[in-house]
Amino acid sequence: MGIRRMLLFGMLSLAVGPACAAETPGGLANPFFAFKNSMETAGPASVEEQVKILADIGFDGFDNRDLNDLKAELEAIDRHGLKLLTIYFTVRIDEGETPFNPLLPEALPLLRDRGTILWCNTHSKQFKPSDPAGDLRAVPIFQQIADLAAPFGVRVAPYPHINLWVESPEDTARLADKVNRPNFGTSFNLFHWRALGDRKQPIEEVVRRVAPRMMVMSINGNDGTIAVEGISPLLEPQIDQYYAVLKAFRDAGYAGPVGLQCYRVPGDPTEHLRQSMAVWRKLKERFETASPSQ
């Protein structure tokens, strides 16, 4: 490229860059999916019926638990035009434990190029929650999972869960630093972040640490203090809180999937899932009408 063309290209780049930034959509385009546990208390046993409910309500996807009924779930998801966005996948890091489901290698070809994330709930009896001493055991396990998953376009992220070894969003970032694989990243769970109570970091600090490599996040209704009673659907009185969290991640560049966590919710799941979808749609409307500074 000649000097004149280089200068012209540079001038065009300077002219186009700010205009493109100003035209960045202000809406909420993240795929919205339901956790498997939204169906596990009172939902239909058939995965076909579960997927049909979600499709009828307007969800973009579903998840799976530990590869159970994976083939049947994928077939149902394909029939109804949804996506399998996550698999809640158990990992154990203690010596002598089977670290993960040995069926993973034969399941991965079914997940080829579907955009699925293995969302790893990570257990240890030897190490306390968030104890970095467990990294020596955990990092090679996660590297193995990520390396197995990479040829199929499957990504991997630790799932922060109160009282498990990976407990906080910052734990997922620490592990992502050490695992150092392109398909291994971070995640955020609103319920389990709230459940940390006084130990949780401000959302601004969480976003700064987690957002650059974040693969998936979730939202829910109640505030993290009544886990014994379950995790509720989205609640309209809390819409300001959801908006603030989603906006913080959106403004940091996150455009990936957002999961709905509903645990031990009684009654017909069609009802509570419709309730959550109504709140989600109000959130989308709010993002679409908000000014850039809001």
The full DSSP string for 131-150 is -GGGHHHHHHHHHHHHHHHG
Asked if residues 224 and 192 have their Cβ atoms less than 8 Å apart, the reply is: yes
How far apart are the C-alpha atoms of 222 and 230, rounded to whole Å? 9
End-to-end CA distance of the chain: 43
How far apart are the C-alpha atoms of 35 and 63, rounded to whole Å? 5
pLDDT of 199: 95
pLDDT of 21: 31
Query: 142: how many CB neighbours lie within 10 A of its CB?
Result: 28
User: What tokens were used for 153?
Assistant: 């376009």
Q: Which residues of the chain have pLDDT under 70?
A: 1-26, 223-229, 291-294
Domain containing residue 137: CATH number: 3.20.20.150
Residue 246: inside a domain, yes or no? yes
How far apart are the C-alpha atoms of 220 and 17, rounded to whole Å? 37
Asked if residues 18 and 10 have their Cβ atoms less than 8 Å apart, the reply is: no
Query: What is the tally of structural domains in the chain?
Result: 1
Residue 11, beta-bridge partner list? none
Residue 16: inside a domain, yes or no? no
Residue 62: inside a domain, yes or no? yes
Residue 162: inside a domain, yes or no? yes
User: What tokens were used for 14?
Assistant: 């300077």
Q: Specify the pTM.
A: 0.89
pLDDT of 16: 29
Condensed to tens digits (0 to 9), the pLDDT of residues 153-209 reads: 999 999 999 999 999 999 999 999 999 999 999 999 999 999 999 999 999 999 999
CA angle, 232 as apex, 283 and 164 as ends, to 5°?
A: 110
Residue 101: inside a domain, yes or no? yes
pLDDT of 230: 81
For 114, the domain range is: 25-289
Asked if residues 210 and 170 have their Cβ atoms less than 8 Å apart, the reply is: yes
Residue 14: inside a domain, yes or no? no
Share of the chain above pLDDT 70, in %: 87
pLDDT of 19: 29
Residue 260, beta-bridge partner list? 34, 219
Residue 215: inside a domain, yes or no? yes
The residue type at 112: R
Residue 54: inside a domain, yes or no? yes
